[in-house]
């Protein structure tokens, strides 16, 4: 994991999530890119917006863009104090989800904050990025989590998403002092017409890569799975939970499943997810 991208919503101060990304980059000896997404200056007056308010809005947008354009040096100096050797700073204008999905294609993982308040807005952004196929590390707002890896829990239920998350998280698992594998009591089966599916044993997969694991069986129905995962991760004092971002089709569109949404909404620890 050589390239870490962190979404910096505020370019004037660095949140605990950005600090988490910096400490993680230092731990992994990875490069760290900060990305700020600004709002485009409207070319026309939005319907119903008074002209005085429009002028104030444009001034705010221009001030934000100007502050972002000169924040790169300060970002680099700040990250270097945590041991980050290589940094970059990028500013883009437009839709945050579209830009993160594009920038994430040349990075190994995107670190993004799950902010509080109205939960639907941050979940909508995170959902869109996850469903694009990017690996994401989601950090709860105002949760100070040290970006070093001690105890990592891995949830595996036999699905393709959980296997992809396990594979993508290998650089993190190799750094962990303790890995706890949370195995579904009744793993899912691969989708398709295959009568003889390829066998995959996550325990053997990890041990073949010299990662010793403690295993624990998880038995819960779909309605309880998210809460059970968080409870077991907490009981094992995990400081990171790795899991697949499960999805389902709704109204001809793909959306995150109930277990994934529950974990995203209520987790108090960072989450490494892949779809």
Helix pair 120-131, 258-266: axis angle to 10 deg = 130
Q: Which pTM does this prediction carry?
A: 0.86
Amino acid 252: pLDDT: 41
Amino acid 145: pLDDT: 66
Helix spans in 81-159 (H): 96-104, 120-131
CA contacts within 13 A on the Cβ side of 85: 7
Q: For the segment 154-202, what is each residue's pLDDT rounded down to a tens digit?
A: 999 888 899 999 999 999 999 999 999 999 877 765 555 555 566 789 9
Give the closest residue to 115 by CA, choosing from 86, 150, 142, 145.
142
The domains of the chain, with CATH numbers, are: 3-140 (3.40.50.620), 151-274 (3.40.50.620)
Task: Yes or no: say if 145 and 241 are a contact pair by the CB < 8 Å rule.
Answer: no
SS3 250: strand
Amino acid 58: pLDDT: 72
Give the closest residue to 273 by CA, choosing from 157, 124, 163.
163
Amino acid 92: pLDDT: 94
Dihedral pair phi/psi, residue 156, rounded to 5°: -135, 125
Tell whether the model's pLDDT for residue 44 goes beyond 70.
Answer: no
CA separation for the pair 107, 183 (Å, rounded): 29
SS3 145: coil
Task: Yes or no: say if 25 and 31 are a contact pair by the CB < 8 Å rule.
Answer: yes
Q: For the segment 64-100, what is each residue's pLDDT rounded down to a tens digit?
A: 899 999 999 999 999 999 999 999 999 999 999 999 9
Tell whether the model's pLDDT for residue 119 goes beyond 60.
Answer: no
């Amino acid at each position: 994991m050589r390239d870490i991208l962190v979404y910096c919503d505020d370019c004037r101060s660095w949140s605990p999530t950005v600090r988490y990304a910096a400490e993680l980059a230092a731990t992994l000896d990875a490069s760290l890119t900060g990305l700020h997404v600004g709002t485009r200056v409207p070319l026309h007056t939005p319907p119903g917006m008074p002209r005085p308010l429009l002028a104030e809005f444009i001034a705010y947008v221009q001030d934000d863009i100007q502050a972002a354009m000169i924040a790169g040096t300060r970002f680099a100096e700040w990250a270097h104090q945590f041991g980050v050797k290589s940094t970059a700073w990028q500013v883009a204008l437009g839709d945050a989800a579209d830009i993160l999905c594009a920038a994430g294609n040349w990075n190994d993982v995107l670190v993004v904050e799950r902010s509080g308040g109205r939960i639907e807005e941050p979940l909508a952004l995170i959902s869109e990025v996850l469903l694009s196929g990017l690996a994401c590390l989601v950090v709860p707002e105002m949760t100070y989590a040290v970006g070093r890896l001690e105890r990592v829990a891995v949830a595996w239920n036999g699905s393709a998403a959980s296997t992809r998350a396990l594979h993508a998280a290998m650089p993190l698992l190799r750094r962990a002092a303790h890995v706890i594998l949370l195995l579904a009591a009744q793993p899912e089966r691969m989708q398709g017409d295959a009568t003889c599916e390829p066998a995959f044993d996550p325990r053997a997969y990890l041990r073949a890569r010299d990662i010793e694991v403690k295993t624990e069986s998880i038995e819960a129905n779909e309605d309880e799975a998210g809460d059970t995962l968080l409870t077991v991760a907490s009981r094992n004092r995990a400081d990171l939970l790795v899991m697949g971002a499960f999805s389902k089709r709704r109204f001809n569109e793909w959306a995150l499943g109930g277990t994934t949404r529950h974990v995203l909404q209520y987790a108090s620890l960072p989450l490494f997810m892949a779809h």
